[in-house]
Structure 1
């Protein structure tokens, strides 16, 4: 579904991504792992059209995304749930969710809203509440629910476990597995190495703007030498 080849990007004269290659196939969860500052969020910004690439190519379902606007990329079905949730704190839960269908799937807004509330019963209970007054875990539910409102063909989740308690982290990863079980491909960009590798089919390790290791998640998870060299475990 998604193919990235030779991707280079950065900020001004500073090159952050120095030739990234990766792909996401239909129906799978892939994990993109690495510590802070290696380029994971920069990669997501390029895929979403927020940051231009300086070299390389991004294709989604055979369509070249280079140069497309963020709105065009959303309309294509590539949906990014950003790090830090980026919800609108003074708007209600329902209003935040409805904004997810602004550029895509607007005719099916009511049905998709019901689907989100079925997935996240707590959000139904809080639909009129200001989103900024929710707990961190509930705000993450709003962010993912907003992404679901656009009927994603591929969902990019950027650090969905960030700042959550261990119990909520478990709940969040269980939710990601349920979404994928329904047929939704997911690109999971995380620092939480252990749990990401447990659920992903394949993984990419990024260091200094390059993919330094890729392969089956089970192989990366079980190889002690790889864990020591690349993951610090």
Structure 2
């Protein structure tokens, strides 16, 4: 579904990504792990068209998208839920969901809002409440639900567990499993190593703009370098 080859990107005169190769197959969860500042968000933003690739290729369903606008990429079926939730705080929960259908699946907006309320009962209880008054976990649910409103084929989640309580982290990863079980491909970009490896079929570990480790999640978990660097074992 998504195939990236020799991708290079950065900001101004600064290079951040130095030749990324990765793929996400239809129906799978792929994790991209890494600490702060190694290029995870730059990778997401380049795939989503928020910044331009300097070199390399990004294929989505066989079509090159590295020169597409972010709006065109959403229209093709990629939804990006950014780090930090970024809900519209002064809009209600329901209005935030409506925004998610602006570029794609607008004809199914009302149906999909009700689907989101079935999937996220807490949001239904707060449908008329300003999004800025929700808890952190509820805002993260809203951000994901807003992404799902466009009926994407690939969902990119950037640090969905960041800043959540342990209970909410468990709930978030359960939600990711449930969404994937319905057939949606997910690119999960996280610092939460253990739980990401548990839900993903394959994993890439990003270090300073390059993938230092990649393979099945079982292989990555068993890699002594990962265990030493990230798990302190």
Tell me: CA distance 1:44–1:225, structure 2 relative to 1, closer, same or farther (3 Å).
Answer: closer
Shift of 1:61: 0.3
SS across alignment from 2:113? helix
SS across alignment from 2:206? strand
Structure 1 CA distance, aligned partners of 2:99 and 2:197? Answer: 32
Shift of 1:227: 1.4
SS across alignment from 1:66? coil
Shift of 1:224: 3.9
Q: Which residue of 2 aligns with 1:209?
A: 209
Q: Which residue of 2 aligns with 1:15?
A: 15
Could you tell me which runs of 5 or more consecutive residues in structure 2 were left unpaired when the two chains were aligned. Answer: none
The answer to whether structure 1 residue 75 and structure 2 residue 75 are counterparts is yes
- 1:1-233 equivalent positions in 2, closer than 5 A: 1-229=1-229, 232-233=232-233
Give TM-score scaled by structure 2 length. Answer: 0.98
Structure 1 CA distance, aligned partners of 2:24 and 2:223? Answer: 23
Structure 2 CA distance, aligned partners of 1:69 and 1:33? Answer: 26
CA contact (8 A) 2:193 2:230 kept: no
Structure 2 CA distance, aligned partners of 1:135 and 1:196? Answer: 23
Tell me: CA distance 1:229–1:164, structure 2 relative to 1, closer, same or farther (3 Å).
Answer: closer
Structure 1 CA distance, aligned partners of 2:171 and 2:229? Answer: 29
SS across alignment from 2:142? helix
SS across alignment from 1:57? strand
SS across alignment from 1:42? helix
Shift of 1:228: 1.1
Structure 2 CA distance, aligned partners of 1:53 and 1:139? Answer: 30
Structure 1 CA distance, aligned partners of 2:39 and 2:18? Answer: 9
CA contact (8 A) 1:205 1:230 kept: no
Could you tell me which runs of 5 or more consecutive residues in structure 1 were left unpaired when the two chains were aligned. Answer: none
Shift of 1:231: 5.2
Shift of 1:30: 0.4
Structure 2 CA distance, aligned partners of 1:190 and 1:37? Answer: 12
Structure 2 CA distance, aligned partners of 1:226 and 1:5? Answer: 24
- Alignment root-mean-square deviation, CA: 1.0
Structure 2 CA distance, aligned partners of 1:210 and 1:185? Answer: 23
* 1:31-82 Cα distance to aligned partner (Å, 9 max, x none): 0000000000000000110001100010100010021110000000011000
Shift of 1:140: 0.3
SS across alignment from 1:41? helix
What is the total number of aligned residue pairs between the two structures?
Answer: 233
